[in-house]
């Protein structure tokens, strides 16, 4: 959201067993339990039918207009801020519900109505963000800051800045231009993301023997006439050659690159998968131009300058300085890893003169990890049935926060699919803290997203009433292998990552929805999610829930050590890749030259400069990098978060990751504040010295902990003679 308002089929008995086990483990009901009254989606009575979205929007607009009229009368500063926050809460509930429905609901009629609702409410938000009466009231409230609480003062200040980011303070002519560009940007981002889904690319592979049997579920059989066969005659089976068509969407492409031994097949898949969607080359050019023009109207030299002005970094020069320093530090170890992969390929091929190609990386690094640590991903997955992974989330909440984590019945009409679970977080002294919907399995027509949706933000309604947060955690586990019921470890890490976001929303206790949970500055938002990834790798945590689906045996400690060793093997290469992505994002939305920008050439040059790998001519991987649309000069925030999380883990969590003392520090010094406190103050209060550095008056992360974790500091010190 912009400016003021941010933002069942079972394939096998085994799958039924795992699903039933999840339900039985978390559900505690009895035959005498009271009947639950029917409601609509997510507990909103309006959403009992698809058409209910129309009334949902109508009522939101009606209530918001009442509040707009009230605010226009210039009441006291506290009432202005409270009313503005209620408007935000009202419209955000509609938007977030509509987006969740669009991403997950199996009924296309619901999805279509949600899409209409999204368009209507966004049009209304445009009206709110250009309403001068609201702007004047917010300015008045900020001027009367002495009448406000500390958090309300912060809300007033941020509301004014957010409205001005939409251009409300400009003259009518420039405001009109800014509004049109904003709408153009929204549409271009939507087209960019839709093209990624609708045009994933495909490649035909012959013969069929090139594709290992364990990947056949990812491909579609195809046939062609064998050379020499007479096309005019009826073809017998022997005259047809079987092959496979594979769709080069990211997950399938990753599996092909990892498991297919035929280098030519990997090359075909890599080139095709990194050359779509072609239409996004033009869309991206238009998006860059529109964002740059918008930024200039707003008085900035670049969109990057506009985007990061209110972040901890505050300046694109600071971001670039941070990224270039990280690139220099990681380069020596990344080059060592590249050389090791190259030598391994030469050894395997028996050829001294052989090039290491980009389509070789995933294949050979997987072989090297397997060889060094004797790891079988399917064996590792056998310790992570979904039911046990949810037990892991339960262990976290109970051990860290003293909070119970249990499933409660869904009211008729509340759920959008039989797989959905509803979780209540309950504290013995504080009562219910919030509710969490879990929709974790992939299915047809479900958007391939792993994300957390804040359906309702926490906010104080009165002195005695607090609106509890309601969150949905959505993942796409199992893919086309639902019978397994088990997660790969990278999926476990993803689950813990998204749960970190959910906890940020569920455990924050801000007075205003405007600052609830993840509504924080851009380069702070990913810190909780990165922190909770560590819990998915620590044996002291894993032994509490990771049990073999058949024997019930706890995951062996030696296996976890091997998993960590394998993770560390190419950590510099992975970090280098993330730096490269962030540099692309910064450069594309940085200061623009007068001539038309060639994004393919820019990306190719950045890859040559900042990675150990070469660019493949004809490819344009960045046209399927959806973060260019969703973040726009903000992707560096993942690296900020990675550094912050490493420091927090080492200084706060590592010694005793599941203790109540650790949990109290995380909850009361960090998560509960949402965006109601300055991000730098939160981090300093939590960790003390050694998490932040100052540069040019801005904040960058201290990289010491991450460097120590990745064993890259020594390389840097040796390189510079320290």
Which are the contacts of 611, defined by CB distance < 8 A and separation ≥ 6? Answer: 334, 576, 577, 580
Is residue 22 within 8 Å of residue 387, measured between CB atoms?
Answer: yes
Is residue 117 within 8 Å of residue 184, measured between CB atoms?
Answer: no
Backbone angles phi, psi at 243, to 5 degrees: -140, -165
Give me the helix-helix angle, 713-720 and 316-349, nearest 10°.
Answer: 100
Is residue 494 within 8 Å of residue 386, measured between CB atoms?
Answer: no
Give the integer Cα–Cα distance in Å for 161 and 27: 46
What residues are paired with 466 via a beta bridge? 460
Residue 290 exposure: Cα atoms within 13 Å on the Cβ side: 21
What are the CA-CA distances from residue 604 to residues 226, 277, 616, 637, 684 (Å)? 39, 17, 8, 23, 39
Give the integer Cα–Cα distance in Å for 383 and 398: 21
Give the integer Cα–Cα distance in Å for 119 and 95: 9
Measured from the Cβ of residue 584, the count of other Cβ atoms closer than 10 Å reads 22
User: Token digits for 388?
Assistant: 């046990």
Give the integer Cα–Cα distance in Å for 126 and 721: 56
CA nearest to 328, candidates 570, 578, 579, 574: 579
User: Token digits for 328?
Assistant: 């220099």
Of the residues 99, 249, 414, 498, only one is catalytic, namely: 498
Largest CA distance in the chain: 90
Backbone angles phi, psi at 695, to 5 degrees: -145, 120
Residue 464 exposure: Cα atoms within 13 Å on the Cβ side: 0
Give the integer Cα–Cα distance in Å for 670 and 686: 7
CA nearest to 142, candidates 81, 85, 88, 67: 81
Which are the contacts of 720, defined by CB distance < 8 A and separation ≥ 6? Answer: none
Does 164 qualify as catalytic in the annotation? no
Pairing of strands 470-477, 431-441: parallel
User: Token digits for 169?
Assistant: 């303070």
Helical spans, DSSP H, in 260-385: 263-273, 279-297, 303-308, 316-349, 361-373, 377-381
Q: What angle do CA 613, 622, 608 make, to 5 degrees?
A: 25
Which are the contacts of 114, defined by CB distance < 8 A and separation ≥ 6? Answer: 50, 53, 97, 98, 99, 101, 102, 105
Which H or E run includes 599? helix 599-610
Is residue 703 within 8 Å of residue 643, measured between CB atoms?
Answer: yes
Burial environment of residue 346 by CB neighbours within 10 A (0 to 12, 13 to 18, 19 or more): middle
Q: Which residues are catalytic?
A: 498
């Amino acid at each position: 959201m912009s400016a003021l308002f941010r933002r069942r089929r079972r394939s096998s008995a085994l799958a039924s067993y795992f699903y039933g086990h999840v339900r039985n483990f978390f559900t505690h009901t009895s035959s005498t339990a009271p009947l639950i009254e029917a409601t609509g989606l997510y507990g909103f009575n309006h959403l009992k039918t698809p058409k209910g979205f129309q009334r949902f929007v109508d009522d939101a607009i009606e209530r918001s207009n009442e509040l707009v009229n009230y605010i226009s009368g210039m009441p006291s500063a506290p009432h202005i801020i409270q009313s503005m926050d209620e408007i935000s809460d009202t419209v955000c509930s509609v938007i977030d519900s509509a987006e969740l429905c669009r991403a997950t609901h199996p009924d296309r009629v619901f999805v279509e109505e949600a899409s209409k609702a999204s368009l209507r409410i966004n049009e209304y938000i445009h009206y709110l963000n250009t309403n001068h009466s609201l702007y004047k009231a917010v300015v008045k409230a900020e001027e009367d800051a002495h009448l406000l609480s500390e958090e309300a003062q912060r809300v007033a200040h941020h509301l004014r800045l957010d409205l001005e980011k939409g251009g409300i303070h400009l003259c009518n002519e420039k405001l009109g231009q800014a509004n049109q560009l904003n709408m153009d940007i929204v549409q271009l981002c939507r087209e960019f993301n839709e093209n990624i889904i609708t045009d994933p690319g495909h490649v035909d592979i012959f013969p069929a023997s090139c594709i290992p049997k364990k990947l056949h579920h990812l491909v579609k059989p195809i046939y062609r006439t064998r050379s020499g066969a007479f096309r005019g005659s009826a073809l017998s089976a022997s005259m047809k050659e079987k092959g496979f068509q594979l769709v080069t969407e990211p997950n399938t492409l990753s599996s092909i690159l990892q498991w297919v031994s035929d280098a030519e097949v990997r090359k075909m898949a890599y080139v095709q998968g990194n050359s779509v969607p072609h239409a996004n080359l033009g869309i991206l050019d238009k998006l860059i131009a529109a964002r740059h023009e918008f930024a200039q109207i707003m008085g900035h030299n670049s969109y990057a300058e506009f985007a990061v002005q209110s972040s901890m970094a505050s300046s694109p020069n600071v971001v670039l300085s941070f990224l270039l320093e990280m690139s220099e530090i990681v380069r020596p170890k990344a080059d060592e890893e590249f050389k090791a992969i190259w030598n391994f390929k030469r050894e395997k091929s028996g050829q001294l003169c052989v090039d290491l190609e980009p389509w070789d990386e995933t294949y050979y690094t997987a072989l090297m990890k397997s060889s060094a640590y004797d790891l079988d991903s399917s064996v590792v997955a056998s310790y992570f049935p979904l039911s046990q992974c949810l037990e892991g989330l339960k262990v976290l909440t109970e051990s860290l926060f003293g909070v119970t984590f249990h499933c409660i019945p869904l009211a008729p009409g509340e759920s959008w699919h039989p797989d959905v679970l509803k979780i209540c977080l309950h504290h013995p002294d504080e009562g219910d803290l919030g509710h969490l919907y879990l929709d974790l399995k992939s299915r047809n027509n479900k958007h391939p997203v792993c994300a957390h949706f804040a359906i309702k933000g926490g906010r104080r309604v009165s002195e005695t009433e607090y609106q509890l947060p309601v969150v949905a955690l959505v993942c796409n586990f199992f893919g086309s292998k639902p019978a397994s019921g088990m997660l790969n470890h990278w999926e476990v890490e993803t689950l813990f990552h998204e749960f970190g976001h959910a906890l940020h929303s569920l455990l924050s206790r801000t007075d205003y929805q405007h600052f609830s949970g993840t509504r924080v500055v851009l380069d702070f938002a990913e810190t909780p999610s990165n922190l909770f990834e560590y819990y998915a790798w620590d044996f002291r945590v894993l032994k509490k829930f990771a049990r073999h689906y058949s024997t019930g045996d706890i995951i062996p400690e030696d296996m976890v050590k091997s998993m960590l060793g394998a993770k560390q093997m190419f950590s510099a290469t992975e970090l280098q890749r993330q730096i490269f992505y962030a540099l692309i994002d910064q450069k594309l939305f940085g200061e623009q030259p007068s001539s038309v920008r060639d994004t393919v050439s820019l990306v190719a040059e950045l890859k040559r400069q900042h990675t150990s790998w070469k660019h493949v001519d004809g490819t344009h991987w960045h046209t399927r990098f959806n973060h260019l649309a969703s973040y726009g000069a903000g992707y560096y925030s993942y690296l900020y978060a990675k550094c912050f999380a490493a420091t927090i883990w080492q200084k706060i969590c590592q010694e005793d990751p599941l203790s109540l003392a650790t949990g109290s520090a995380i909850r009361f010094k960090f998560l509960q504040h949402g965006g109601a406190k300055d991000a730098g103050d939160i981090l300093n209060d939590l960790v003390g010295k050694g998490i932040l550095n100052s540069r040019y008056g801005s904040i960058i992360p201290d990289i010491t902990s991450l460097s120590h974790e990745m064993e890259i500091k020594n390389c840097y010190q040796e390189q510079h003679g320290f």
